[in-house]
Amino acid sequence: MNTQSSAMHESPLESQVIAPAVMPAARPMYWSVRRELWENRSIYIAPLAVAAVFLFGFLISTIHLPGKMRAASALDPLRQHELIAQPYLIASGLMMLTTLVVGVFYCLDALYGERRDRSILFWKSLPVSDLTTVLSKAITPVVILPLVTFAITVVMQWIMLLVSTAVLLGSGLSVTTLWAHASLFQTWLMLLYHLLTVHGLWYAPIYGWLLLVSAWARRAPFLWAGLPLLAIGVVEKIAFNTSHFGTMLANRMIGGGGGGDFMTGSLSMDPLMHFTPGEFLISPGLWIGLAVAAAFLAAAVRLRRSQGPI
């Protein structure tokens, strides 16, 4: 009886000791990513603000929607599609630009900010490794921010379609043409593909470089992020009269990343025709970029391990 009682009293203590050992390996990463969302509300507030401003402008523009649809009825199907889909693609492009801007500023402040406000002392006291911390900060612009932007864009474009439908019905016009050419599902699929490939994987070395600068700079990280790149380009131009480094940076920023026509801004009757995941995944530029990003992140981990408050 005493043995059973003793076992019953010891079991809660044993469970407390054993619980950390059986904790899933991904749990520290999960909470580290959640910490980034808690501390950096601009990740979702900035896209929400941009979406709200665009929706306000779109609501005002619906005054001219009935006349626009009457004019579209006289055009061929391709021109109709371009005219009707234009505001939805503009909305997607604006949200993608917002994603890039938020990602750049987030990365520059991610490791610099915790050294500036000395919160690094608290975070280093927790049982979370420097590797986990840096990887969580890299995952945020590469995965979390594109997904947040995609969700906000889907809701925004759905509201745009419903408002347009209400305006046309109120004017006594058919909504068949609008729904036939809006192609929201295809637009959303292309947008998700673009955000995860270009704004995620293709931009990974850019985010890695910014995180490295954020871990190293003692002040003005934005300046230190741009000056070395500018210096390399200037030295190459003076020494060899070439601009290969600048061309490489431009290609990394605006081209070649599997973005399809969302990158150039042109429209197409079938956005799905631009899905080339196979070509993108075997692209040498992708894997070279990921290797460079891994090197930058490894250096950022070492710097965070040795750096203290500013």
Please report which helix (H) or strand (E) contains residue 129, including its range.
none
| Positions of the chain with pLDDT lower than 50, given as ranges | 1-23, 256-273
CA distance 73 to 306: 66
Token duo for residue 205:
């070395």
H-state helical runs in 62-183: 65-72, 77-110, 112-116, 120-124, 130-139, 145-170, 176-182
Q: By C-alpha distance, which of 148, 216, 175, 179 is closest to 81?
A: 179
DSSP-derived letter for residue 200 is I
What is the pLDDT, as a whole number, of residue 25? 64
Q: Which one-letter amino acid corresponds to residue 101?
A: V
Can you give the pLDDT at residue 77? 75
Residue 69 structure tokens: 């649809």
Q: Which residues contact 168 (CB under 8 A, 6 or more apart)?
A: 65, 66, 69, 174, 175, 178
Q: Pull the structure tokens for residue 229.
A: 């790149």
With 0.85 as the threshold, say if the pTM is over it.
no
- 200-227 residue pLDDT tens: 899 999 999 999 999 998 888 999 999 9
Sign of the Cα torsion 76, 78, 81, 84 reads negative
Query: Identity (one letter) of the amino acid at 16?
Result: Q
Query: Which are the contacts of 216, defined by CB distance < 8 A and separation ≥ 6?
Result: 224, 303, 307
Domain ranges of the chain: 27-33+40-306
**Residues 203, 95: contact at Cβ < 8 Å?**
no
pLDDT at 264: 37
Residue 274 to residue 262: CA distance in whole angstroms: 9
The CA distance from 70 to 56, in Å, is: 23
Two structure tokens written together for 270? 């079938």
Beta carbons of 47 and 95 less than 8 angstroms apart: yes
Which pLDDT score is estimated for 270?
41
Distance CA 46, CA 27 (A): 28
The residue type at 155:
V
Which 3 state secondary structure label does DSSP give 117? coil
Alpha carbons 148 and 168: distance in angstroms, whole number: 31
> Do the Cβ atoms of 173 and 241 come closer than 8 Å?
no
Alpha-carbon gap, residue 259 to 252, rounded angstroms: 11
Q: State whether residue 41 is helix, strand or coil.
A: coil
Please report, to the nearest 10 degrees, the dihedral formed by the alpha carbons of residues 29, 30, 33, 35 taken in order: -110
